[in-house]
């Protein structure tokens, strides 16, 4: 069974640009969550999608947005990039919304110059 | 406010030297506590889920335990390949839209 796939693995952008990250969950998993990981803040929850609807949201500005498609694949978008957005962005999938084990992808390393 | 605190931040052990990692939490209602292992350049890898105080789970050299306010990850006779960052996460059961909150992790280094 294939794991969670995130693309691209690495990305370099400049301030002010926007970026879209992609996540393909494990087959059969309906929930996709996104996290930002930095050395200083650790893993911080961005948002969770289930059945194409955002079910939960962390404390991030509106520049961070996402969506989920009917096949459960998800995309995350960051507009007007700032230097502080440099981080490892992790996607996790689980069978259902709550109480289930999350399986993580390898992440997308975003560098903002 | 929900909070997860892990200690110590870093731990260096000699191969075979057993120890424990701590995860203390404050949530309005615990739906589940998760332990993950993360290797450099990779996403976290699931280890255990604990749901109620008194519960214990084991996997090879690792054993996770849960009380009402904290969880311990016991490592018995560790090997160098156990070196990694160990993350604890809790899921708040206080609302239907519960979030998962991660601790900052414990960096474990095992010397041969």
Span A22-45, pLDDT tens digits: 999 999 999 999 999 998 888 999
Can you tell me whether residue A110 is helix, strand or coil? strand
What pLDDT score was predicted for residue B94? Answer: 62
Distance CA B33, CA B92 (A): 9
Chain A residues with beta carbon closer than 8 angstroms to that of B91: 98-99
Task: For A85, list phi and psi in degrees, rounded to 5.
Answer: -80, -5
Quick one: pLDDT band at residue A98, thresholds 50, 70, 90?
A: low
Q: Which residues contact A20 (CB under 8 A, 6 or more apart)?
A: A75, A76, A77
End-to-end Cα distance, chain B: 41
Task: For B68, list phi and psi in degrees, rounded to 5.
Answer: -70, -20
> CB-based contact (8 Å) between A104 and chain B?
yes
Nearest C-alpha neighbor of B98 from the set A91, A56, A67, A95: A56
Chain B residues with beta carbon closer than 8 angstroms to that of A45: 99-102
Can you tell me whether residue B85 is helix, strand or coil? strand
Nearest C-alpha neighbor of B22 from the set B86, B76, B91: B86
Can you tell me whether residue A95 is helix, strand or coil? coil
Distance CA A64, CA B103 (A): 22
Can you tell me whether residue B82 is helix, strand or coil? helix
Quick one: pLDDT band at residue A13, thresholds 50, 70, 90?
A: very high
What pLDDT score was predicted for residue A110? Answer: 97
C-beta atoms of A104 and B91 within 8 A: no
Select from B43, B87, B100 the Cβ nearest to the Cβ of A105. Answer: B43
What pLDDT score was predicted for residue A99? Answer: 61
C-beta atoms of B46 and A101 within 8 A: yes
CA A10 to mean position of chain CA atoms: 14
One digit per residue, the tens of pLDDT, for chain B of length 112 reads 788 999 999 999 999 999 999 999 998 888 899 999 999 989 999 999 999 999 999 999 999 999 989 999 999 999 999 999 999 999 887 655 567 889 999 999 999 9
Can you tell me whether residue A102 is helix, strand or coil? coil
């Amino acid at each position: 069974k294939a794991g969670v796939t995130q693309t691209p693995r690495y990305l370099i952008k400049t301030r002010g640009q926007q970026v879209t990250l992609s996540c393909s969950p494990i087959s059969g998993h309906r929930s996709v969550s996104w996290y930002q990981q930095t050395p200083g803040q650790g893993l911080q929850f961005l948002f969770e999608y289930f059945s194409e609807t955002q079910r939960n949201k962390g404390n991030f500005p509106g520049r961070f947005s996402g969506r989920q498609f009917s096949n459960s694949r998800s995309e995350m978008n960051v507009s007007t990039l700032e230097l502080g957005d440099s981080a490892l962005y992790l996607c996790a999938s689980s069978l259902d919304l709550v109480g289930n084990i999350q399986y993580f992808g390898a992440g997308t390393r975003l560098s903002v110059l | 406010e929900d909070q997860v605190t892990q200690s110590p931040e870093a731990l260096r052990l000699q191969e075979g030297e057993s120890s424990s990692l701590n995860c203390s939490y404050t949530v309005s209602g615990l739906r589940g506590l998760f332990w993950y292992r993360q290797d450099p350049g990779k996403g976290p890898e699931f280890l255990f889920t604990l749901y109620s105080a008194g519960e214990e789970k084991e996997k090879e050299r690792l054993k996770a335990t849960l009380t009402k306010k904290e969880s311990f990850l016991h490592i018995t006779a560790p090997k160098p390949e156990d070196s990694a960052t160990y993350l604890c996460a809790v899921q708040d059961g206080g609302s239907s839209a519960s979030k998962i909150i991660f601790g900052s992790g414990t960096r474990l280094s095992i010397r041969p």
